[in-house]
Amino acid sequence: MDGNSIYWHSLTVQEALERLGTDSVAGLDESEVLRRINIYGRNEIKAKVKTPLEMFANQFKSILIIILLIATLISAFLGEFFDALTIAIIVFMMAIFGFVQEYRSEKTIQALKKLAVPRARVIRGGREVEIPSTDLVPGDIVLLREGDRVPADIRLIESNDLEVDESPLTGESTPVEKDANVVLDPSTPVSDRVNMVFMGTYIVRGSAKGVVVATGSSTELGRIAKSVAETKEEKTPLEIELDDFGKKIGLIIIGIAAIVFATSLLEGWANVLESFMIAVALAVAAIPEGLPAIATAVLAIGAHRMAKKNALVRKLAAIEALGSVDVICTDKTGTITKGEMTVKVVRTFNGFCNVEGSGYEPKGRISCSGVNIENLLEMLAAHTFSDVKLVNEKGVWSVKGSPTEGALLVLAYKGLGEEGVGKAVNKLQLVKTYPFDRFRKRKSTVHIFNGKYIVVVSGAPEILVELSNTIQVGDGVKPFDNDSKKKVLGYVEELASQGYRTLGVAFKVVEAFSEEDSVENVERDLTFYAVLGIIDPPREGVAEAVQIAKRAGIKTIIVTGDHKLTAMAIAKMIGLDVDNSIALEGRDLDRMSDDELAKIIDKVTVFARVTPEHKARIVKVLKKKSYRVAMTGDGVNDAPALKEAHIGIAMGIRGTDVAKEAAQLVLLDDNYSTIVEAVKEGRVIYENLKKPINYLLTANMGEVATVFGSQLLLMPPPLEPVHLLWINVVTDALPAAALGLEPPEPGIVERPPRSAKERFVTRRKLVYYIVMGSLLGAATLLIFNMFRETSLQLARTAAFTAIALSEFGRAISSRSENQNFWKLPRNKWLLPALLASMAMQLIAIYTPLNKYFHVVPLDWWIWPAIFIAPATILIVDEVRKVLGIKIS
């Protein structure tokens, strides 16, 4: 039975049981279970998974990979087996790397399965049994208790003080109170279906009995799995750029090869075979086949640096893409905040306290004015200590029990310290507990102290106001008249309007107490003490990170399943301009078309009460408006939007496996501030990817200009095929790799994000490549012509060396597009790379290997003339920078 085709929350318990053909006492018998398993299948999420062979084959669809494969065949045909082997290794390495990344991405659906509970307690044939959760079928009667993860979508039959953490599904940070007896409107959203529990969530408090209404792919979790599977994974900007780059280079190569072949034949400098070999060698040289490997190395090193800063990269190409985003859509719970309730404000009748710190870590100063808070903290410590525990596991603080009571205990630890809390618990020894009840909306504890009894009550402030006839004022009490009650309720409204959950605290001292007393009698005639403002506050450093992002031209939008007022309060706390922007709820989105949303989305800062479908839709609308979108999240509900976004960023600690597998980046510390570091690395890497491209394309264009120019000038070819291949494979590689390791240029974080339309190879840059390549070619031809009359072999050796050294000059100038190299931080890798390349060039000239390169040793007096070429290239480009002529 498809759990999503029937509005189970709008049916009474009896109607649901009748529709499912089951009994709440006896459950299903084994024969009926087997029949239903055959009909509905196992309670597991199924998805089509690509085979490893399919994933590996997909790696060869890139046009650049195809060109490199052709280059491999051509090099082998020319007898350059070493060159062919090098290119083949590069291609295979890229394919393996891409396969590994895609294989990990396809594990998203497998991660969803892990959220299912391994075992479930059910009633079958009138007996309570424990079974694998995969054996559940619609109609099974399931028993739930505190700590259980819900194994299927379930319509509640009975509930006892049931609270459920639905943050993995809805993003709601506060546990949701459930009530089996409620019957809801069919249009009620998932986050408000209080008579149901859903697969993947877990029980925080209480117990329940329910009937399974949907299993496997029919659950709400299953719908998300389907959405993840159907969402086409977005190509990163780098992948798009390299594909586009490969197509352009491919067309240029074909044209160059054809022209060189034709002109060589027409001018009669070579026969058909020789002309073909020269044209093909030049075409192979024109392909910067080392660039993909260099790009991979640059990204891998960037990923290593980011890992040290707690940002784990799942897909290397995503690193540079992060540097281009101009909108971050961030979930609130677990991303901006820790997902941990914290008392931030204590308000008494004649004073207040501000509490520092966030989450469950018991650190933070309490600053008070007009109030002595020690007595309150002692009562809260004794009130909560027996029902909630504060634990520290591997440096991570958490609470076992109610998050709200955990917040009260943490407050007590902040003010009293561990020793003070222990003394308070011993001082106010617990006698009786009246647990929190959704109908009473409060919890009470009775303690004995100095022969008297102290009753401590926490709960809804408006209820405690009505139950109180006195109020604490300083160290004494006074009658709680109507004016005083209005004042206190005003505090409650003020805190609520700021996004806080409010909790009241009251007490009374009595001479005698009997456990036979009714709870109503115990909880009357109270003394109202304080109103507590509780919120899941921003992490430390988030506000600063948001401001840095703002200065970098990046807009932050909160997209959460939490309440609007709470989300707006958090937005204001981290410095977002809430007053001059728009906050929308999910129901607002439901009334809007995509076009209507697109008209106002630029002004939106907060999206609240949203569903998983809303999140993905928001990302799509932003993308249609040409924004580069990053989506952060931690829950199951975030997975589709993480895949839809240009960059998906998951939380490593709190994040579900689903979110981690769907994302390209995982924040190991769950710290929003880490995103700023990732943005910086992304921008540095993008700049460092441009530098080898600028270097290689100019150098390759110089090789083309040298050969093609000689033909136009009716000169013999100055370079042979072996020279072109040697320069391309050996002398280009190390300097290009070193350029990819440049330290950050000054002010890189403060720059605005690059335009979505910006490309690695633009028309302006193409002109630049042609001009600089032509200059390089002219300098090489000049050297060639200087020694041509002496010896053709000597002239070719000089030209071969001159073009190699010219590319070294280009490497120095390529360290920055617009800043002179002497103003940049030192690149410790470049000089060794140039020296190593120079050494290889000298080996080719001055060792017996020179006969394979068809060159001769050069006398010392030839070298000054050769150095004219690299000096000219370097000086011209540095003068351009001084004049402020930009190439992009």
pLDDT at site 606: 94
E strand segments, 686-843:
none
In a 10 Å sphere around its CB, with 0-12 CB exposed, 13-18 middle and 19+ buried, how is residue 839 labelled?
A: exposed
Residues 694 and 721 in one domain: yes
Q: Provide mean pLDDT across the span 800-812.
A: 89
Place 112 in a pLDDT band, splitting at 50, 70 and 90: very low
Residue 327 maps to a domain:
yes
Residues 379 and 478 in one domain: yes
The CATH number assigned to the domain holding 427 equals 3.40.1110.10
CA-CA distances (angstroms) from residue 565 to 191, 584, 592, 761? 16, 11, 21, 47
- At 240 the three-state DSSP class reads helix
Residues 757 and 839 in one domain: yes
**pLDDT(111) > 50:** no
Lowest mean pLDDT among 394-408, 517-531, 590-604, 861-875: 394-408
Residue 489 near residue 462 (C-beta atoms within 8 A): yes
CB under 8 Å to 111, separation ≥6 — which residues? 656, 657, 658, 660, 661
Residue 372 maps to a domain:
yes
H or E element, residue 58? helix 52-58
331 classed as catalytic: yes
Q: Write down which residue in 230, 250, 265 finishes a domain.
A: 230
Residues 595 and 531 in one domain: no
Cα–Cα distance, 881 to 684 (Å, whole number)? 20
Lowest mean pLDDT among 200-204, 225-229, 686-690, 797-801: 225-229
The CATH number assigned to the domain holding 123 equals 2.70.150.10
Residues 355 and 324 in one domain: no
746-752, long-range: CB < 8 A, 24+ apart: 746/819, 748/680, 748/683, 748/684, 748/687, 749/548, 749/551, 749/552, 749/676, 749/679, 749/680, 749/683, 750/551, 750/552, 751/552, 751/553, 751/683, 752/326, 752/552, 752/553
- Residue % of the chain over a pLDDT of 70: 82
**pLDDT(105) > 50:** no
pLDDT at site 20: 94
Q: Write down which residue in 195, 212, 230 finishes a domain.
A: 230
- Residue % of the chain over a pLDDT of 90: 37
Residues 556 and 589 in one domain: yes
Residues 685 and 831 in one domain: yes
The CATH number assigned to the domain holding 589 equals 3.40.50.1000
Place 115 in a pLDDT band, splitting at 50, 70 and 90: very low
pLDDT at site 358: 80
Residue 148 maps to a domain:
yes
Place 268 in a pLDDT band, splitting at 50, 70 and 90: low
Name the residue range of residue 723's domain.
237-310+678-882
Residue 694 near residue 765 (C-beta atoms within 8 A): yes
Residues 361 and 315 in one domain: no
pLDDT at site 597: 95
Residue 757 maps to a domain:
yes
**pLDDT(116) > 50:** no
pLDDT at site 384: 94
Residue 277 maps to a domain:
yes
Residues 64 and 130 in one domain: no
pLDDT at site 101: 46
Residue 2 maps to a domain:
no
Residues 690 and 836 in one domain: yes
Per-residue tokens: 99: 């396969």
- At 53 the three-state DSSP class reads helix
Cα–Cα distance, 712 to 282 (Å, whole number)? 16
Q: Which of 1, 80, 78 is nearest to 39 (CA)?
A: 1
**pLDDT(320) > 70:** no
**pLDDT(883) > 80:** yes
Residue 503 near residue 459 (C-beta atoms within 8 A): yes
pLDDT at site 117: 40
Q: Which of 72, 40, 170 is nearest to 725 (CA)?
A: 72
pLDDT at site 191: 85
Q: Provide mean pLDDT across the span 145-154.
A: 84
| Higher pLDDT pick, 671 / 774 | 774
E strand segments, 294-388:
311-313, 327-330, 342-348, 351-355, 366-369
Residue 887 maps to a domain:
no
Which tens digits make up the pLDDT trace of 72-93? 676 677 666 765 675 566 567 5
> What does pTM read for this prediction?
0.64
Q: Write down which residue in 607, 640, 670 finishes a domain.
A: 670
pLDDT at site 108: 38
User: Which residues on neighbouring strands pair with residue 503, listed in sequence order?
Assistant: 532
Place 317 in a pLDDT band, splitting at 50, 70 and 90: low
- Rounded to the nearest 10 degrees, the angle between the axes of helix 868-882 and helix 763-788 is 150
Place 171 in a pLDDT band, splitting at 50, 70 and 90: low
Residues 187 and 260 in one domain: no
Per-residue tokens: 208: 């329940």
Q: Provide mean pLDDT across the span 23-42.
A: 92
Residue 686 maps to a domain:
yes
Lowest mean pLDDT among 142-151, 374-383, 601-610: 142-151
Average pLDDT of the chain to the nearest whole number: 83
Which tens digits make up the pLDDT trace of 508-518? 999 999 888 89
**Rama region for 854: left / alpha / beta (φ>0; ψ in -120 to 50; rest):** left
**pLDDT(118) > 70:** no
Lowest mean pLDDT among 160-164, 383-387, 609-613, 699-703: 609-613
Residues 327 and 463 in one domain: no
Options 331, 387, 634, 877, the catalytic residue:
331
Number of helical (H) and strand (E) elements in the chain, helices listed first: 33, 27
Q: Give the Cβ contact number of residue 79 at 10 Å.
A: 12
| Higher pLDDT pick, 819 / 651 | 819
How many domains would you assign to the chain?
5
Q: Which of 656, 667, 617 is nearest to 640 (CA)?
A: 617
Cα distance between the two ends of the chain: 59
Which tens digits make up the pLDDT trace of 756-786? 667 777 788 888 988 998 999 999 999 999 9
Lowest mean pLDDT among 45-49, 232-236, 464-468, 730-734: 232-236
